[in-house]
Amino acid sequence: MYLNREEDNNKGSVALSVFLVSLAVTVCAVWLVALCGVCGWCQRKLGKRNKPGVESAGTPDSTRGRGEKKAINRNMGNKPANSPKGQPPDADGHSSVSDLANSLTGDMVMLSPGSDEDHEGPVSEKLGRIQFSVGYSFQDSTLTVKIIKGQDLPAKDFSGTSDPFVKIYLLPDKKHKLETKVKRKNLNPHWNETFLFEGFPYEKVRERTLYLQVLDYDRFSRNDPIGEVSIPLNKVELGHNQTFWKELKPCSDGSGSRGDLLVSLCYNPTANTITVNIIKARNLKAMDIGGTSDPYVKVWLMHKDKRVEKKKTVTIKRCLNPVFNESFPFDIPAHVLRETTIIITVMDKDRLSRNDVIGKIYLSWKSGPAEVKHWKDMLSRPRTNVAQWHALKA
């Protein structure tokens, strides 16, 4: 009887100890939860980790390349826009009003062709090169120029090719010129044509500069300059035939300084549309006598060699740095994208005569290097306005 009472007392003590330990653990847990509830820092940390679809400003996914300038992305659902220059977004995941004002427009990615650095203008386009030979016959007083071939010429036609030929001058004489044959649809033409300048005394030859201009033949309009090469003949040993490879440079007749145009493209694969946004131009060539222009922009949608649809901006009077900010959507089914070209032409409006062409841009997957890059960047970033500067061409 005494032993049973002692066992009951021991069991009661153990049960009491277990209860007290459980009570202490529960009190500690409640105290920790209360402490974390008071601490806003913990709440924000836990909220950031657990909230799906939200990226912090410093994560790798929130910053892309250095060459991209991004504004607020309103088409990405719950994902907030990335703040520029590393500044954190506000509580709603959006950039500040001042950051938005500094951007070009919403949903825009600013790109620089051919470079990862942050440039605000077009890069110089490679124009290809030309091979030719020069020699002089003292016996016949004849200068011989042979145009051999061209290599890696840029496409000047919206079909993605060119019809190149070469004009040959002995400067400063511009009245007399010789020309090669036109090589149809060829960016690596072989001419192998020889030209003779007869009856030229050696002393006069050394005073001349050999000037070669490569052009793209156009049956319906003015021929488009591709590039030029000049070589003073007093720097050439004319006693024996010499062969040269020369890189083509932009033509100095004004075709290389027609100004630049900032254009953005947005491809929507769901709606099968491409939206062309004509943003602004700078340093346009003055086409009027008063040293200015009245520019407007025409946008042609081309399928193969056929014109499908045309749209144009308003005219900005007497301005060489106009701001347009006009958008034009075009319906383009996915299966014709590779055969589509968008031709953008900056015009000078003239009330008394025919409107003048200031410069053009051909955008497609087979245009020049800068244009092709813009086209591919547009396709790789659907539903995003991809902006890029382009140098206007003749």
**In sequence order, what are the beta bridge partners of 261?**
281, 390
pLDDT tens for residues 118-151?
Answer: 344 444 567 899 999 999 999 989 999 999 999 9
Give the confidence band of 10 by pLDDT, cuts at 50, 70, 90: low
Domain residue extents for the chain: 129-254, 259-392
The CA distance from 326 to 298, in Å, is 11
- The per-residue pLDDT for 41 is 43
Q: Does residue 214 contact residue 162 with C-beta atoms inside 8 Å?
A: no
Biggest CA–CA distance in the chain, Å, is 147
Q: Which residue has the higher pLDDT, 365 or 20?
A: 365
Q: Are strands 242-247 and 129-137 parallel, antiparallel or unpaired?
A: antiparallel
Four-CA torsion 97, 103, 106, 112, nearest 10 degrees: -160
Q: Which residue has the higher pLDDT, 11 or 354?
A: 354
Could you check whether 129-254 and 259-392 share the same CATH topology? yes
Mean confidence (pLDDT) of the chain: 76
What are the φ and ψ backbone dihedral angles of 11, each rounded to 5 degrees?
-65, -40
- The per-residue pLDDT for 309 is 94
- The per-residue pLDDT for 58 is 35
Four-CA torsion 210, 215, 217, 223, nearest 10 degrees: -100
| Architecture of the domain spanning 129-254 | Sandwich (2.60)
Give the confidence band of 325 by pLDDT, cuts at 50, 70, 90: very high
- The per-residue pLDDT for 156 is 79
pLDDT tens for residues 197-245?
Answer: 998 899 999 999 999 999 998 776 667 888 899 999 999 988 889 999 9
Four-CA torsion 299, 304, 307, 312, nearest 10 degrees: 0
Is residue 90 left, alpha or beta, with left meaning phi > 0 and alpha meaning psi from -120 to 50? beta
* Order of all β-strands in the sheet with 190-197: 190-197, 142-151, 129-137, 242-247
Once rounded to an integer, what is the mean pLDDT over residues 184-191?
94
What contacts 24+ positions apart, CB below 8 Å, involve 368-374?
Answer: 368/125, 368/154, 368/155, 369/113, 369/114, 369/125, 369/126, 369/154, 370/113, 370/114, 370/122, 370/123, 370/125, 373/111, 373/113, 373/114, 374/111, 374/113, 374/263, 374/265
CA-angle at 392, arms to 187 and 277, nearest 5°:
115
pLDDT tens for residues 39-82?
Answer: 444 444 444 444 333 333 333 333 343 343 333 333 333 333 34
- The per-residue pLDDT for 246 is 95
The CA distance from 236 to 170, in Å, is 14
Give CA separation, 282 vs 121, 265, 357, 374, 385, in Å: 10, 19, 15, 19, 20
What are the φ and ψ backbone dihedral angles of 159, each rounded to 5 degrees?
-80, -5
- The per-residue pLDDT for 318 is 92
- The per-residue pLDDT for 31 is 65
CATH number for the segment(s) 259-392: 2.60.40.150
- The per-residue pLDDT for 65 is 39
The CA distance from 165 to 223, in Å, is 10
Once rounded to an integer, what is the mean pLDDT over residues 79-103?
39
